[in-house]
Amino acid sequence: MSDKVRAGIWRLADPKISLASMAAMWLGTFAAAADGPVSPLWVVVTVLAVFCVEVAKNASGEIYDWDSGTDRRIADEDRSPFSGGKRVMVDGLLTRGQTWAVAITSYAVATALGALVVLGHEGRAFWFAVAGIGLAFFYHGPPFRLSYRGLGELAVGLAYGPLLVSGTYLVQRGNVPPRVVLLGVPLGMLIAAFLWINEFPDFKADASSGKRNLVVRLGRVNAGRVFALMLVIAFLVLAVLPFIGVRWGVWLAAVAAVPGFSAARIALANPEATARIVPAQAKTLLSFVLMALAGGVGMLVGVPL
């Protein structure tokens, strides 16, 4: 295997790609731990399965974004550490065939691990696995191409919020109370907001490639206002959670509002300048990570109201 191929695979499988899913699984696992014992074995299997889905999604997404031309149309001044795809084909690290090989292998391993959970531990996890893999592939892939039709943001909010938090909890506890579904909502909104702000630097390339996500449809000025509104709603939902049975310690997640609202101010003031948007991208990432970490730990020290 050449150095270029190894570098390309690493870009697709760099553990940083899983920050969003790891945040959701952290929150779901800690919610489960607050309600009873947790099985380390099934935590590990769940994490590995979701990680493989992340790698597969990145690889198949690279191919469909290559076909549409969006990644190739990003101007130098619009490049960002947080957006623009993994660029393994654009930078010549992997061929189309090699990228497909990574995608197919990763989807297959994820499916096998999911089957292990379903057949060996929790049968009701089947529908969560099907939904997760489906949203991962169809985010870019035909026939739904969610990210090209203004549905990608909703898909990400659902997948990395209620779906993954609830699915992780289900594997540990064997049921999903409504409060756990709602627990995933504010985190899902922050992760969707991270996707949203990452679409700002790619605005011109996406618009010229037919990638009609919501930022392209709204324009960056209006999208900046919606971005700020998403953050406000996320923290309002967080404030309500203890009143529906979530342990009060989840309020520790409010610390995430500090970088979150700082990101909102940047997006409102500088929606069309990539160099000025990059700090907002970093702050939004920090916000969702802090929400998951602090909220999860907080639930272990809190008690129901």
Q: Which amino acid is at 84?
A: G
Q: Domain of 61?
A: 3-301
Confidence of residue 195 (pLDDT cuts 50, 70, 90): very high
**The two three-digit tokens of residue 7, written as one number:** 């570098």
pLDDT in tens, 221-264: 999 999 999 999 999 999 999 999 999 999 999 999 999 999 99
User: What average pLDDT does range 33-58 have in this prediction?
Assistant: 96
Q: How far apart are CA 238 and CA 272, in angstroms?
A: 30
Q: How far apart are CA 88 and CA 73, in angstroms?
A: 15
Decide: helix, strand or coil at residue 113. Answer: helix
**The two three-digit tokens of residue 3, written as one number:** 């150095």
Q: How far apart are CA 82 and CA 278, in angstroms?
A: 8
User: What average pLDDT does range 174-199 have in this prediction?
Assistant: 97
pLDDT of residue 305: 39
Number of domains making up the chain: 1
In the numeric block, the tokens 């922050």 are attached to 190
If you average pLDDT over every residue of the chain, what do you get?
95
CATH of the domain at 34: 1.10.600
pLDDT of residue 302: 64
